[in-house]
Chains A and B, each alone.
Chain A
Amino acid sequence: MLAGTIVERIGEPVAGASIVVAKAPVAVPDIALLSAADGKFALDAPLSGTYRLVIRAGERRKEVELDVPLAGEVGIRIEL
């Protein structure tokens, strides 16, 4: 699982940012998740491998690439 928090530079959570899986080791549903009120999100990572997330909040956009291991949860904090 890919889980994380999206925050401003000052550390405030960003609610309603869209999180898109732009790259994955396997085909994934082309649906986008919105970050919760506390900035948190959790996405399925069906296989181990490299995932690229695109985060969009208004005009701000960020890409992050992550290596997801065979099992367990990967946590990430993303600063816009």
Chain B
Amino acid sequence: MVDTPAGPHTPISNLVQEAAASAEEIIEPMHGSASGQIIAADGACEALATAAAFESGEAPSAPAAALQDIGAASFLDPSIVLETVHGVDNRKRVDQTADYPFRVNASLLITARDGSQWIGTAWFVSARTLITAGHCVYIKGSPVPGRDGWVKSIQVMPGRNGTALPFGSVTSSEFWSVQGWAESGDENYDYAAIIIPTPLGDTVGTLGFGNLADGSLADAVANVTGYPGDQPSGQMWYDSKAIASVTPTKVHYDIDTAGGQSGAAVYIVQDGKRIAVAVHAYGGPTTNSGTRISAPVFQNLSSWRR
């Protein structure tokens, strides 16, 4: 029997719930029943059929010059600068979003308490459960009155590719997070679950997830796939790099991401299986970071599976 985590990792929900189901000891990925390819990993990374959006070693094409022709923001002293992610943008567009493993990722359209709308990413861990960032389901520390708290609803769109929804969409109003995030707004506890009413995870498949030791994460290649808001709406993008560093609660990496990818799985490939080790949450000045799937996080993720 698995003990429910306590303290900041105490799980909470916007709905009154019975006790969560017992967790499994090992969580393996599932391919799902949908037709389409099961794409084998290319070593530690994904093999993408589409060409890279930006050629390796080249900077994005002169956004500063182009932007000056479009217009100007009116403000005290604006300046237009080149886009950078971290150095050269190495992200690749994913076009095979209906194939495994990419179809386990879902584009999120989040409606907050105050009616504002946001973009995020989530990934399936079971038939009806997706994992995402805590701040995708519970907004914390906003300066806007009435915005903080559980979001009202989330539209979940698995395998979205631009305007195409190969697996349709479903709306959720059942969310889980932990006290460390919802009550304290502590970034070290920024993770959550979305429960959907239909078992789409049986169709699209799931990622595995695990609580791995520091030695297994050091220098491992991590992969992140999600829906960045700086690209055309609904496009899935991917990047991978070696993990930069880990702490007991976070994983840091120089994988290029942008706003909208909050909640994406940070996963490694072990024996051909995709195993999530963190939940992407923050964009930083030099590295990005995710909430590490430590033992209590693993227990909560396991117990949230429906």
Q: Please pick, from A18, A29, A59, A61, the residue contacting B135 in the complex, using a CB distance under 8 A.
A: A29
Asked if B215 is an interface residue, CB under 8 A from chain A, the answer is no
In the complex, are the beta carbons of B63 and A29 less than 8 A apart? no
User: Per-position contact with A for B58-80: 1 when CB-CB < 8 Å, else 0?
Assistant: 00000110010011111111111
Chain A's closest residue to B187 (CB) is A27
In the complex, are the beta carbons of B119 and A31 less than 8 A apart? yes
In the complex, are the beta carbons of B229 and A20 less than 8 A apart? yes
* Known contacts A64-B73, A76-B75; A27 and B289 CB within 8 A of each other: yes
In the complex, are the beta carbons of A30 and B232 less than 8 A apart? no
User: Per-position contact with B for A18-52: 1 when CB-CB < 8 Å, else 0?
Assistant: 11111111111111111010000110101000001
Cα distance A27–B187 when bound, in Å?
10
Q: Please pick, from A54, A58, A73, the residue contacting B230 in the complex, using a CB distance under 8 A.
A: A54
* Known contacts A44-B143, A76-B74; A23 and B118 CB within 8 A of each other: no
CB A8 to nearest CB in B, in angstroms, measures 10
Cα distance A47–B70 when bound, in Å?
29
Cα distance A66–B77 when bound, in Å?
8
* Known contacts A27-B284, A61-B230; A78 and B73 CB within 8 A of each other: yes
CB B257 to nearest CB in A, in angstroms, measures 6
CB A7 to nearest CB in B, in angstroms, measures 9
- Total interface residues on A, CB under 8 Å, equals 46
Chain B's closest residue to A33 (CB) is B118
* Known contacts A23-B84, A30-B281; A66 and B78 CB within 8 A of each other: yes
**What's the count of A-B pairs with C-beta under 8 Å?**
159
Asked if B51 is an interface residue, CB under 8 A from chain A, the answer is no
Chain B's closest residue to A40 (CB) is B116
In the complex, are the beta carbons of B118 and A30 less than 8 A apart? no
B70 / chain A contacts, CB cutoff of 8 Å = 60, 62, 79-80
* Known contacts A61-B230, A62-B67, A63-B67; A28 and B283 CB within 8 A of each other: yes
B116 / chain A contacts, CB cutoff of 8 Å = 33-34, 36, 41-42
B84 / chain A contacts, CB cutoff of 8 Å = 22-23
* Known contacts A30-B261, A32-B119, A79-B72; A59 and B232 CB within 8 A of each other: yes
In the complex, are the beta carbons of A34 and B119 less than 8 A apart? yes
Cα distance A34–B229 when bound, in Å?
9
CB B193 to nearest CB in A, in angstroms, measures 16
A12 / chain B contacts, CB cutoff of 8 Å = none
CB A17 to nearest CB in B, in angstroms, measures 9
Asked if B228 is an interface residue, CB under 8 A from chain A, the answer is yes
Asked if B81 is an interface residue, CB under 8 A from chain A, the answer is yes
CB A19 to nearest CB in B, in angstroms, measures 7
In the complex, are the beta carbons of A56 and B80 less than 8 A apart? no
A75 / chain B contacts, CB cutoff of 8 Å = 75
B115 / chain A contacts, CB cutoff of 8 Å = 36
Using a CB–CB distance below 8 Å, which chain A residues touch chain B? 1, 9, 16, 18-34, 36, 41-42, 44, 46, 52, 54, 56, 58-67, 73-80
Question: Can you show 17 pairs from A to B with CB atoms below 8 A apart?
Answer: A20-B228, A23-B84, A26-B284, A27-B187, A29-B259, A30-B261, A30-B282, A31-B120, A32-B118, A32-B228, A32-B229, A58-B233, A60-B70, A61-B67, A62-B71, A63-B83, A76-B75
Q: Please list the 9 inter-chain residue pairs (A to B) with the smallest Cβ-Cβ separation, ordered nearest first.
A: A32-B229, A20-B259, A18-B229, A32-B259, A27-B284, A32-B260, A79-B71, A32-B119, A31-B262
